[in-house]
Structure 1
Amino acid sequence: MKYHALLIDDEEGNRELLTRLLEQHCPGIGFIDQAASATEALDKIQLTKPDVVFLDIEMPGGSGFDFLNEAGGIDFKIIFVTAYDSYALRAIKYSALDYLLKPVDPKELIHAVEKLEEQIGQQEKIDLLSYNLSHDQDRRIALATQDEVIFARVSDIIRLQAEANYTKVFMENEPPVLLSGNLGHFEKLLKDQRFYRTHQSHLVNMKHVRKYVKTEGGYFLMDDGSQVPIARMKRDELKRLFT
């Protein structure tokens, strides 16, 4: 499988150099797009849906961290590429796959892409298992934590909440579990199971919605007592559904 990469750096020379290194040393990267700013990158991720973003940090008009905050639900892997090592701890917050220092060492780049291929490959196996389980009569989904794989009934899942590049799953009669993988990934996995994306950070099981409160900005009151906010752009859609 060939992966789609987006390179974000305000210096064209850096983008072209990284493109050449990927073409020479990383055959698993089959498609490469470039963006010179965070604003341009936000448009491109909507259009091209990259598997991985190689992201510079210090850029005029908005840093790499600003870009990630604006991107909301992160549906791609992140590899930081920067001349500064002082941001490494902050990068952990965004669950970065790797952190490469300029000038990029080809061996380190190869290692980063190998980690990308390994992570996506493992996730594809879990997704296939989840698909098979969810189409069984009992409709289950495989939730892979760091220590175990939970085979949860889809009907027991109340809601899912984005936690940076992770997702927290709330279920009936079970403690929440934190999973690697962004919310967009699980939205695709559960697309035929009556789940609704109310907000860039929230996905709810409509079977567990107790009431829709239209005041205070609008929110769903769930069976577990939690209040899930509804994004402004979703409110008109809900009005059409409930009128």
Structure 2
Amino acid sequence: MNARERGPIVMVAEDEAPQRAALLAMLAEAWPGAGEIVACEDGVEALQAVAALRPDVAFLDIRMPGVGGLDVARAVVAAGGRVVFTTAYDEYAIRAFEAGAVDYLLKPVAPQRLAQAIERVRESLARPAPGDLQARVDELEARLRPQGAQRIRWISASVGDSVRMIGIDDVLLLQAQDKYVRVVTGDGEAVIRTPLKELLAGLDPDVFWQVHRGIVVRVAAIDRVRKDELGKWRLSLRGRDEDLPVSAAFLHRFRGM
């Protein structure tokens, strides 16, 4: 008997340990017919679980460090799954979830509301997946994005005894290396101490994609993505000789390219 015959595979991604434990306990009680229930501590771990397990349902914290719930949701939907977001947003922002036609649970999660979400998900799983789920996730992201949200415009990097100001429009690649981040432009590179996950929060997700736990690239600079002789995915940038690894968890970004 496979996992689907035992029941749907359910994934929970929540970076706060107490809330994750509480949701797992409530799910086990409220959905005895579920199959495997997988717990993930952050977005990167969740993307890896999506690639390995293709969960039928994912309960996702909308805000997680590094890779957020919306990016994980895109991978889940691409794999044919359903998504329920968990959120601490206020009442005004909740309207975005309702308008985006995706289900959500307001934190702290109430058992009665969880039971309602499970029933909706079970009904959805009994039907073919709607063809516009990706569009709904995109719409939700647009509605949740703060007006005038602060985006990085400049990166200041120490080069010898001087400070180099790098315009974000010139950046092709950001790569974590030990305690530093390597910033690559068309005419050079520098290193900074700002953690990659902090930089991600200030980058336009339509312009920069995370393709590996430690690598973010400018989408327009991508030349090709291919498998090497070992079956690993690699990425190359236009005009550069570098061969960069791509995690299987992020391959959903390249569907249709």
- TM-score normalised to the size of structure 1? 0.48
- TM-score normalised to the size of structure 2? 0.45
